[in-house]
Protein backbone atom coordinates (compact mmCIF):
# COMPACT_ATOMS: atom_id res chain seq x y z
CA UNK A 1 0.00 0.00 0.00
CA UNK A 2 1.33 3.46 -0.86
CA UNK A 3 2.12 5.97 1.88
CA UNK A 4 -0.74 8.15 0.62
CA UNK A 5 -3.26 5.31 1.06
CA UNK A 6 -1.88 4.53 4.52
CA UNK A 7 -2.56 8.09 5.55
CA UNK A 8 -6.00 8.54 4.01
CA UNK A 9 -7.52 5.35 5.40
CA UNK A 10 -8.55 5.20 9.08
CA UNK A 11 -6.20 4.11 11.83
CA UNK A 12 -7.34 0.77 13.26
CA UNK A 13 -6.99 0.69 17.06
CA UNK A 14 -7.39 -2.63 18.89
CA UNK A 15 -7.86 -2.73 22.67
CA UNK A 16 -9.64 0.62 22.46
CA UNK A 17 -11.91 -0.06 25.47
CA UNK A 18 -8.89 -0.64 27.73
CA UNK A 19 -7.30 1.71 30.22
CA UNK A 20 -4.76 3.08 27.75
CA UNK A 21 -7.27 2.88 24.91
CA UNK A 22 -9.79 5.15 26.57
CA UNK A 23 -7.14 7.81 27.17
CA UNK A 24 -5.65 7.49 23.69
CA UNK A 25 -8.81 7.50 21.55
CA UNK A 26 -9.56 11.26 21.47
CA UNK A 27 -5.85 12.02 21.04
CA UNK A 28 -5.53 9.58 18.14
CA UNK A 29 -8.51 11.19 16.40
CA UNK A 30 -6.84 14.57 16.85
CA UNK A 31 -3.57 13.27 15.41
CA UNK A 32 -4.83 11.01 12.62
CA UNK A 33 -8.42 11.93 11.83
CA UNK A 34 -10.56 8.89 11.18
CA UNK A 35 -10.27 6.08 13.73
CA UNK A 36 -11.75 2.59 13.83
CA UNK A 37 -11.76 1.52 17.47
CA UNK A 38 -12.29 -2.13 18.28
CA UNK A 39 -12.43 -4.28 21.39
CA UNK A 40 -14.21 -7.37 22.69
CA UNK A 41 -15.59 -5.19 25.52
CA UNK A 42 -18.13 -2.38 25.34
CA UNK A 43 -16.48 0.68 23.79
CA UNK A 44 -19.03 3.22 24.98
CA UNK A 45 -20.34 5.93 22.68
CA UNK A 46 -18.30 6.64 19.54
CA UNK A 47 -16.48 9.97 19.53
CA UNK A 48 -16.76 12.36 16.58
CA UNK A 49 -14.51 10.91 13.87
CA UNK A 50 -14.63 7.42 15.36
CA UNK A 51 -16.29 4.18 14.35
CA UNK A 52 -16.55 1.55 17.09
CA UNK A 53 -16.69 -2.19 16.36
CA UNK A 54 -17.04 -4.91 18.99
CA UNK A 55 -15.00 -7.90 17.82
CA UNK A 56 -12.91 -10.73 19.20
CA UNK A 57 -9.29 -10.65 18.02
CA UNK A 58 -9.41 -14.45 17.91
CA UNK A 59 -12.06 -14.23 15.17
CA UNK A 60 -9.90 -14.22 12.01
CA UNK A 61 -12.73 -13.15 9.71
CA UNK A 62 -13.75 -10.23 11.89
CA UNK A 63 -10.13 -9.06 12.14
CA UNK A 64 -9.65 -9.45 8.40
CA UNK A 65 -12.70 -7.28 7.68
CA UNK A 66 -11.41 -4.53 9.99
CA UNK A 67 -7.85 -4.58 8.67
CA UNK A 68 -9.08 -4.52 5.05
CA UNK A 69 -10.48 -1.01 5.63
CA UNK A 70 -7.53 0.36 7.60
CA UNK A 71 -4.37 2.31 6.82
CA UNK A 72 -2.10 1.87 9.78
CA UNK A 73 -2.72 -0.22 12.88
CA UNK A 74 -2.25 0.36 16.61
CA UNK A 75 -2.57 -3.08 18.19
CA UNK A 76 -3.10 -2.78 21.96
CA UNK A 77 -5.82 -5.43 22.35
CA UNK A 78 -5.14 -8.50 24.43
CA UNK A 79 -4.96 -9.76 27.98
CA UNK A 80 -2.74 -7.42 29.98
CA UNK A 81 -2.12 -9.51 33.09
CA UNK A 82 -0.94 -12.96 34.12
CA UNK A 83 -3.53 -15.71 33.76
CA UNK A 84 -3.79 -19.26 32.47
CA UNK A 85 -2.25 -20.23 29.14
CA UNK A 86 -5.70 -21.25 27.85
CA UNK A 87 -6.95 -17.70 28.32
CA UNK A 88 -3.84 -16.00 26.95
CA UNK A 89 -3.61 -17.98 23.71
CA UNK A 90 -6.75 -16.78 21.88
CA UNK A 91 -6.37 -13.08 22.76
CA UNK A 92 -2.62 -12.57 22.66
CA UNK A 93 -1.26 -15.25 20.35
CA UNK A 94 -4.07 -16.05 17.91
CA UNK A 95 -5.29 -12.43 18.03
CA UNK A 96 -1.88 -11.00 17.17
CA UNK A 97 -1.40 -13.59 14.42
CA UNK A 98 -4.76 -12.56 12.95
CA UNK A 99 -3.76 -8.88 12.92
CA UNK A 100 -0.38 -9.47 11.25
CA UNK A 101 -1.73 -12.01 8.79
CA UNK A 102 -4.56 -9.70 7.71
CA UNK A 103 -2.07 -6.83 7.39
CA UNK A 104 0.12 -8.97 5.16
CA UNK A 105 -2.82 -10.09 3.04
CA UNK A 106 -4.15 -6.57 2.53
CA UNK A 107 -0.81 -4.74 2.37
CA UNK A 108 -1.75 -2.61 5.40
CA UNK A 109 0.73 -1.06 7.79
CA UNK A 110 2.80 -0.14 9.62
CA UNK A 111 1.70 -1.81 12.85
CA UNK A 112 2.61 -0.30 16.21
CA UNK A 113 1.86 -2.88 18.87
CA UNK A 114 2.07 -3.21 22.64
CA UNK A 115 4.75 -5.52 23.91
CA UNK A 116 5.72 -5.31 27.56
CA UNK A 117 8.59 -5.04 30.02
CA UNK A 118 7.40 -8.49 31.12
CA UNK A 119 9.06 -9.87 27.97
CA UNK A 120 12.38 -9.01 29.68
CA UNK A 121 11.25 -9.10 33.34
CA UNK A 122 13.79 -11.68 34.54
CA UNK A 123 16.76 -9.38 34.03
CA UNK A 124 18.02 -8.07 37.35
CA UNK A 125 16.93 -4.61 38.44
CA UNK A 126 19.64 -2.06 37.74
CA UNK A 127 21.01 -3.90 34.74
CA UNK A 128 21.01 -1.58 31.75
CA UNK A 129 19.30 -3.13 28.73
CA UNK A 130 19.41 -2.02 25.14
CA UNK A 131 16.91 -3.11 22.48
CA UNK A 132 19.12 -5.97 21.25
CA UNK A 133 18.99 -8.10 24.42
CA UNK A 134 17.27 -11.43 24.15
CA UNK A 135 13.86 -11.75 25.76
CA UNK A 136 13.65 -13.09 29.30
CA UNK A 137 9.93 -13.36 30.14
CA UNK A 138 8.75 -13.30 33.74
CA UNK A 139 5.30 -14.86 33.19
CA UNK A 140 3.21 -16.67 30.61
CA UNK A 141 1.85 -13.23 29.76
CA UNK A 142 5.45 -12.13 29.11
CA UNK A 143 5.95 -15.16 26.85
CA UNK A 144 2.99 -14.02 24.74
CA UNK A 145 4.63 -10.59 24.43
CA UNK A 146 7.89 -12.22 23.27
CA UNK A 147 5.76 -14.17 20.77
CA UNK A 148 4.40 -10.89 19.39
CA UNK A 149 7.93 -9.56 18.92
CA UNK A 150 9.01 -12.76 17.13
CA UNK A 151 5.93 -12.80 14.92
CA UNK A 152 6.57 -9.16 13.98
CA UNK A 153 10.16 -10.08 13.13
CA UNK A 154 9.02 -12.92 10.85
CA UNK A 155 6.41 -10.78 9.13
CA UNK A 156 9.00 -8.13 8.31
CA UNK A 157 11.80 -10.44 7.24
CA UNK A 158 9.57 -12.66 5.11
CA UNK A 159 6.82 -10.32 3.92
CA UNK A 160 8.02 -6.75 4.55
CA UNK A 161 5.26 -5.87 7.07
CA UNK A 162 6.77 -2.99 9.08
CA UNK A 163 6.17 -2.71 12.80
CA UNK A 164 7.27 -1.20 16.08
CA UNK A 165 6.79 -3.12 19.32
CA UNK A 166 6.63 -1.02 22.48
CA UNK A 167 7.91 -2.79 25.58
CA UNK A 168 5.75 -0.61 27.78
CA UNK A 169 6.98 -0.29 31.35
CA UNK A 170 4.29 1.13 33.66
CA UNK A 171 1.99 3.45 31.75
CA UNK A 172 -0.22 5.28 34.21
CA UNK A 173 -0.95 8.86 35.23
CA UNK A 174 1.65 8.93 38.04
CA UNK A 175 4.20 6.48 39.47
CA UNK A 176 2.84 5.01 42.73
CA UNK A 177 5.51 2.44 43.66
CA UNK A 178 9.31 2.65 44.06
CA UNK A 179 9.74 0.31 41.07
CA UNK A 180 7.88 2.81 38.90
CA UNK A 181 10.74 5.29 39.39
CA UNK A 182 12.51 3.10 36.80
CA UNK A 183 9.58 1.77 34.75
CA UNK A 184 7.08 4.65 34.51
CA UNK A 185 5.85 6.04 31.20
CA UNK A 186 3.48 8.99 31.31
CA UNK A 187 0.46 8.83 29.03
CA UNK A 188 1.75 11.89 27.18
CA UNK A 189 5.10 10.19 26.52
CA UNK A 190 3.34 7.03 25.34
CA UNK A 191 1.41 9.14 22.83
CA UNK A 192 4.65 10.89 21.78
CA UNK A 193 6.23 7.48 21.18
CA UNK A 194 3.29 6.17 19.12
CA UNK A 195 3.34 9.36 17.02
CA UNK A 196 7.13 9.14 16.56
CA UNK A 197 6.80 5.53 15.37
CA UNK A 198 4.11 6.38 12.83
CA UNK A 199 6.15 9.40 11.67
CA UNK A 200 9.30 7.34 11.02
CA UNK A 201 10.10 7.02 7.30
CA UNK A 202 10.97 3.35 7.84
CA UNK A 203 10.39 1.11 10.85
CA UNK A 204 11.57 -2.30 9.73
CA UNK A 205 10.81 -4.54 12.69
CA UNK A 206 11.96 -2.48 15.63
CA UNK A 207 11.30 -3.03 19.32
CA UNK A 208 11.58 -0.11 21.77
CA UNK A 209 11.12 0.45 25.46
CA UNK A 210 7.99 2.36 26.40
CA UNK A 211 9.43 4.49 29.18
CA UNK A 212 9.70 8.16 30.15
CA UNK A 213 13.04 9.95 30.62
CA UNK A 214 13.41 8.55 34.14
CA UNK A 215 16.74 9.13 35.92
CA UNK A 216 16.49 5.55 37.23
CA UNK A 217 15.50 3.88 33.94
CA UNK A 218 17.06 0.51 33.14
CA UNK A 219 16.25 0.74 29.44
CA UNK A 220 17.80 2.47 26.45
CA UNK A 221 16.36 3.09 22.99
CA UNK A 222 19.70 4.51 21.77
CA UNK A 223 20.07 1.78 19.14
CA UNK A 224 16.73 2.65 17.52
CA UNK A 225 17.82 5.47 15.25
CA UNK A 226 14.74 5.15 13.04
CA UNK A 227 12.34 6.67 15.60
CA UNK A 228 12.67 10.18 16.98
CA UNK A 229 11.07 9.56 20.39
CA UNK A 230 11.86 12.32 22.88
CA UNK A 231 10.19 11.63 26.23
CA UNK A 232 9.46 14.73 28.31
CA UNK A 233 8.54 13.29 31.70
CA UNK A 234 10.70 11.90 34.49
CA UNK A 235 9.50 9.76 37.42
CA UNK A 236 12.23 11.28 39.59
CA UNK A 237 9.87 14.19 40.28
CA UNK A 238 7.90 11.72 42.45
CA UNK A 239 10.88 10.17 44.27
CA UNK A 240 10.64 12.40 47.34
CA UNK A 241 7.02 11.41 47.89
CA UNK A 242 7.49 7.71 47.06
CA UNK A 243 10.69 6.98 48.98
CA UNK A 244 11.11 9.80 51.54
CA UNK A 245 13.59 7.65 53.52
CA UNK A 246 15.36 6.12 50.52
CA UNK A 247 14.54 2.74 49.02
CA UNK A 248 13.92 0.50 52.03
CA UNK A 249 12.69 -2.56 50.09
CA UNK A 250 14.45 -5.93 50.53
CA UNK A 251 16.80 -6.10 47.49
CA UNK A 252 16.65 -9.92 47.52
CA UNK A 253 12.85 -10.14 47.31
CA UNK A 254 12.14 -11.41 43.77
CA UNK A 255 9.81 -8.53 42.96
CA UNK A 256 12.62 -6.11 43.84
CA UNK A 257 15.57 -8.11 42.52
CA UNK A 258 14.14 -8.50 39.01
CA UNK A 259 12.82 -5.89 36.59
CA UNK A 260 9.38 -7.45 36.16
CA UNK A 261 8.40 -6.76 39.79
CA UNK A 262 5.18 -8.45 40.91
CA UNK A 263 4.95 -10.54 37.73
CA UNK A 264 8.23 -12.19 38.83
CA UNK A 265 7.13 -12.99 42.38
CA UNK A 266 3.73 -14.31 41.26
CA UNK A 267 4.22 -18.09 41.62
CA UNK A 268 8.00 -17.76 42.13
CA UNK A 269 9.23 -21.07 43.56
CA UNK A 270 13.05 -21.14 43.39
N1 LIG B 1 -0.69 -0.24 31.01
C2 LIG B 1 0.58 -0.63 31.09
O3 LIG B 1 1.36 -0.15 31.89
C4 LIG B 1 1.09 -1.69 30.14
C5 LIG B 1 2.39 -2.18 30.35
C6 LIG B 1 2.89 -3.13 29.46
C7 LIG B 1 2.11 -3.55 28.39
N8 LIG B 1 0.84 -3.08 28.24
C9 LIG B 1 0.04 -3.59 27.11
O10 LIG B 1 -0.60 -2.51 26.48
C11 LIG B 1 -1.90 -2.89 26.01
C12 LIG B 1 -2.96 -1.99 26.60
O13 LIG B 1 -2.83 -2.00 28.01
P14 LIG B 1 -4.00 -1.55 28.99
O15 LIG B 1 -3.35 -1.18 30.29
O16 LIG B 1 -4.88 -0.57 28.32
O17 LIG B 1 -4.74 -2.95 29.20
P18 LIG B 1 -6.32 -3.26 29.34
O19 LIG B 1 -6.41 -4.65 29.88
O20 LIG B 1 -6.99 -2.17 30.07
O21 LIG B 1 -6.80 -3.23 27.82
C22 LIG B 1 -6.67 -4.31 26.93
C23 LIG B 1 -7.94 -4.39 26.11
O24 LIG B 1 -7.83 -5.51 25.22
C25 LIG B 1 -9.13 -6.09 25.14
N26 LIG B 1 -9.05 -7.50 24.73
C27 LIG B 1 -8.58 -8.56 25.44
N28 LIG B 1 -8.77 -9.69 24.77
C29 LIG B 1 -9.37 -9.36 23.58
C30 LIG B 1 -9.84 -10.10 22.46
N31 LIG B 1 -9.72 -11.44 22.42
N32 LIG B 1 -10.41 -9.44 21.45
C33 LIG B 1 -10.54 -8.08 21.48
N34 LIG B 1 -10.13 -7.32 22.52
C35 LIG B 1 -9.55 -7.96 23.55
C36 LIG B 1 -9.71 -5.96 26.54
O37 LIG B 1 -11.14 -6.05 26.52
C38 LIG B 1 -9.20 -4.60 26.97
O39 LIG B 1 -10.14 -3.56 26.74
C40 LIG B 1 -2.06 -4.36 26.41
O41 LIG B 1 -1.68 -5.17 25.31
C42 LIG B 1 -1.07 -4.53 27.55
O43 LIG B 1 -0.63 -5.87 27.64
C44 LIG B 1 0.32 -2.16 29.09
The rounded Cα 185 to chain-centroid distance in angstroms is: 11
CA neighbours within 13 Å on the CB side: how many for 224? 30
pTM: 0.98
Q: Is the CB of 74 under 6 A from ligand 1?
A: no
Looking at residue 160, what is its pLDDT?
98
Per-domain residue ranges of the chain = 3-265
Alpha helix (H) residue ranges in the chain: 3-8, 19-32, 60-68, 85-88, 95-106, 140-159, 180-183, 187-199, 239-242, 254-257, 262-265
- CB neighbours of 91 closer than 8 A, spacing ≥ 6? 40, 57, 58, 77, 78, 79
Q: Is the CB of 204 under 6 A from ligand 1?
A: no
The answer to whether residue 5 scores a pLDDT higher than 90 is no
Distance (Å, whole) CA 116 – CA 96: 14
pLDDT tens digits along 36-64: 999 999 999 999 999 999 999 999 999 99
Distance (Å, whole) CA 257 – CA 179: 10
- For ligand 1, what atom is nearest to the CA of residue 91? 31
pLDDT tens digits along 127-179: 999 999 999 999 999 999 999 999 999 999 999 999 999 999 999 999 999 99
Distance (Å, whole) CA 38 – CA 34: 13
Q: What angle do CA 159, 161, 166 make, to 5 degrees?
A: 140
CA of 17 to the centre of ligand 1 (A): 8
What architecture is domain 3-265?
3-Layer(aba) Sandwich (3.40)
Q: Is the CB of 56 under 6 A from ligand 1?
A: yes
Amino acid sequence: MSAATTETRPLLFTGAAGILGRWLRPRLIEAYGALISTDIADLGPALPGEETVVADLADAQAVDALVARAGRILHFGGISYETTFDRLVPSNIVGTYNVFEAARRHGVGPIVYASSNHAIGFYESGRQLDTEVRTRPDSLYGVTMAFKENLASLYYDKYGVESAGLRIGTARPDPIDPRHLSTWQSYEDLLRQIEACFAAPKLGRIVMYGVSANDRSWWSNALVGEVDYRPQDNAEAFAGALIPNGDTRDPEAPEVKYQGGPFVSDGYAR
